[in-house]
Structure 1
Protein backbone atom coordinates (compact mmCIF):
# COMPACT_ATOMS: atom_id res chain seq x y z
CA UNK A 1 0.00 0.00 0.00
CA UNK A 2 2.84 2.38 0.82
CA UNK A 3 4.34 1.89 -2.62
CA UNK A 4 0.97 2.46 -4.30
CA UNK A 5 0.45 5.75 -2.48
CA UNK A 6 3.99 7.10 -2.12
CA UNK A 7 5.64 5.81 -5.28
CA UNK A 8 2.95 5.79 -7.95
CA UNK A 9 5.35 6.67 -10.75
CA UNK A 10 8.26 4.44 -9.68
CA UNK A 11 8.86 1.10 -11.35
CA UNK A 12 11.10 -0.64 -8.82
CA UNK A 13 11.41 -3.76 -10.96
CA UNK A 14 12.80 -1.68 -13.82
CA UNK A 15 15.14 0.22 -11.51
CA UNK A 16 16.49 -3.00 -10.04
CA UNK A 17 17.01 -4.68 -13.41
CA UNK A 18 18.31 -1.76 -15.48
CA UNK A 19 19.92 0.83 -13.19
CA UNK A 20 22.24 1.20 -10.24
CA UNK A 21 19.61 3.22 -8.36
CA UNK A 22 19.26 1.99 -4.77
CA UNK A 23 15.73 1.00 -3.87
CA UNK A 24 16.56 1.12 -0.15
CA UNK A 25 15.13 4.62 0.37
CA UNK A 26 11.92 3.62 -1.41
CA UNK A 27 11.60 0.48 0.72
CA UNK A 28 12.20 2.40 3.96
CA UNK A 29 9.54 4.94 3.00
CA UNK A 30 7.01 2.20 2.21
CA UNK A 31 7.83 0.31 5.41
CA UNK A 32 7.52 3.49 7.48
CA UNK A 33 4.13 4.14 5.91
CA UNK A 34 3.01 0.62 6.86
CA UNK A 35 4.27 0.90 10.45
CA UNK A 36 2.53 4.24 10.94
CA UNK A 37 -0.68 2.89 9.42
CA UNK A 38 -0.76 -0.29 11.50
CA UNK A 39 0.64 1.09 14.78
CA UNK A 40 -0.92 4.48 15.36
CA UNK A 41 0.24 6.58 18.29
CA UNK A 42 -3.15 6.11 19.94
CA UNK A 43 -2.89 2.34 19.60
CA UNK A 44 0.53 2.37 21.25
CA UNK A 45 -0.58 4.66 24.07
CA UNK A 46 -3.34 2.20 24.95
CA UNK A 47 -0.50 0.07 26.37
CA UNK A 48 1.27 2.87 28.28
CA UNK A 49 0.48 1.38 31.68
CA UNK A 50 1.74 -2.07 30.76
CA UNK A 51 5.20 -3.55 30.55
CA UNK A 52 4.87 -4.44 26.86
CA UNK A 53 7.79 -3.57 24.61
CA UNK A 54 7.41 -1.98 21.19
CA UNK A 55 8.18 -5.38 19.67
CA UNK A 56 5.43 -7.05 21.66
CA UNK A 57 2.98 -4.35 20.59
CA UNK A 58 4.09 -4.83 17.00
CA UNK A 59 3.25 -8.51 17.25
CA UNK A 60 -0.27 -7.63 18.44
CA UNK A 61 -0.78 -5.41 15.39
CA UNK A 62 0.86 -7.78 12.91
CA UNK A 63 3.92 -5.61 12.33
CA UNK A 64 7.29 -7.26 11.75
CA UNK A 65 9.86 -6.66 14.49
CA UNK A 66 12.38 -5.76 11.79
CA UNK A 67 10.58 -2.49 11.04
CA UNK A 68 9.45 -1.34 14.49
CA UNK A 69 12.44 1.01 14.66
CA UNK A 70 10.69 3.05 11.94
CA UNK A 71 7.82 4.02 14.26
CA UNK A 72 7.90 7.73 15.11
CA UNK A 73 5.81 8.65 18.15
CA UNK A 74 4.32 12.13 17.91
CA UNK A 75 3.35 12.66 21.55
Structure 2
Protein backbone atom coordinates (compact mmCIF):
# COMPACT_ATOMS: atom_id res chain seq x y z
CA UNK A 1 0.00 0.00 0.00
CA UNK A 2 2.82 2.35 0.88
CA UNK A 3 4.60 1.97 -2.45
CA UNK A 4 1.37 2.38 -4.40
CA UNK A 5 0.41 5.48 -2.40
CA UNK A 6 3.86 6.97 -2.87
CA UNK A 7 3.85 6.35 -6.62
CA UNK A 8 0.30 7.68 -6.90
CA UNK A 9 1.58 10.83 -5.20
CA UNK A 10 4.19 11.19 -7.93
CA UNK A 11 1.58 10.56 -10.64
CA UNK A 12 -0.75 13.23 -9.27
CA UNK A 13 1.71 15.82 -7.98
CA UNK A 14 4.54 15.48 -10.48
CA UNK A 15 2.86 14.81 -13.79
CA UNK A 16 5.61 16.44 -15.86
CA UNK A 17 8.61 15.27 -13.84
CA UNK A 18 10.48 12.00 -14.35
CA UNK A 19 12.21 11.46 -11.00
CA UNK A 20 13.92 8.26 -12.13
CA UNK A 21 15.48 10.05 -15.10
CA UNK A 22 16.56 12.97 -12.92
CA UNK A 23 18.25 10.62 -10.42
CA UNK A 24 20.08 8.62 -13.07
CA UNK A 25 21.09 11.28 -15.59
CA UNK A 26 21.37 14.61 -13.77
CA UNK A 27 22.74 16.11 -10.60
CA UNK A 28 19.29 17.52 -9.77
CA UNK A 29 18.14 16.68 -6.25
CA UNK A 30 14.82 14.82 -6.15
CA UNK A 31 14.45 14.97 -2.36
CA UNK A 32 11.69 17.58 -2.59
CA UNK A 33 9.64 15.38 -4.92
CA UNK A 34 10.17 12.28 -2.78
CA UNK A 35 9.12 14.15 0.37
CA UNK A 36 5.99 15.46 -1.35
CA UNK A 37 5.06 11.95 -2.54
CA UNK A 38 5.60 10.60 0.99
CA UNK A 39 3.42 13.33 2.49
CA UNK A 40 0.69 12.62 -0.06
CA UNK A 41 0.90 8.93 0.79
CA UNK A 42 0.69 9.59 4.52
CA UNK A 43 -2.59 11.50 4.11
CA UNK A 44 -3.94 8.92 1.67
CA UNK A 45 -3.30 5.90 3.89
CA UNK A 46 -4.04 7.34 7.34
CA UNK A 47 -6.78 9.93 7.71
CA UNK A 48 -6.94 12.58 10.41
CA UNK A 49 -9.98 10.76 11.79
CA UNK A 50 -7.96 7.56 12.11
CA UNK A 51 -5.17 9.39 13.94
CA UNK A 52 -7.73 10.78 16.38
CA UNK A 53 -9.20 7.31 16.86
CA UNK A 54 -5.74 5.92 17.73
CA UNK A 55 -4.55 8.92 19.71
CA UNK A 56 -3.66 6.76 22.73
CA UNK A 57 -1.31 4.63 20.61
CA UNK A 58 2.34 5.37 19.87
CA UNK A 59 3.51 6.20 16.35
CA UNK A 60 5.21 2.81 16.19
CA UNK A 61 1.99 1.03 17.15
CA UNK A 62 -0.09 2.91 14.57
CA UNK A 63 2.50 2.19 11.90
CA UNK A 64 2.44 -1.51 12.78
CA UNK A 65 -1.37 -1.62 12.68
CA UNK A 66 -1.45 -0.09 9.19
CA UNK A 67 1.77 -1.78 7.97
CA UNK A 68 3.42 1.49 6.99
CA UNK A 69 6.84 2.98 7.85
CA UNK A 70 6.89 5.05 11.04
CA UNK A 71 8.55 7.86 9.07
CA UNK A 72 5.31 8.26 7.15
CA UNK A 73 3.47 9.14 10.34
CA UNK A 74 6.26 11.34 11.67
CA UNK A 75 6.02 13.69 8.68
CA UNK A 76 2.34 14.26 9.44
**What TM-score do the two structures reach when normalised by structure 2?**
0.80
**What per-residue deviation string (whole Å, max 9, x for no partner) do you get for residues 1-32 of structure 1?**
11111111111121112211101111000001
Gap runs ≥5 in structure 2: 1-7
Counterpart in the other structure of 1:46:
53
Task: Give the aligned length.
Answer: 69
Runs of 4+ in 1 over 2 A off after TM superposition: none
Q: What value does the CA root-mean-square deviation take over the aligned residues?
A: 1.3
Gap runs ≥5 in structure 1: none
**What TM-score do the two structures reach when normalised by structure 1?**
0.81
Report if aligned partners of 1:2, 1:29 keep a CA contact under 8 Å in 2: yes
Counterpart in the other structure of 2:43:
36
Whole-angstrom CA distance in 1 between matches of 2:71 and 2:53: 22
Report if aligned partners of 1:3, 1:30 keep a CA contact under 8 Å in 2: yes
Larger Rg: 1
Residue correspondence of structure 1 range 55-70 to structure 2 within 5 A = 55-70=60-75
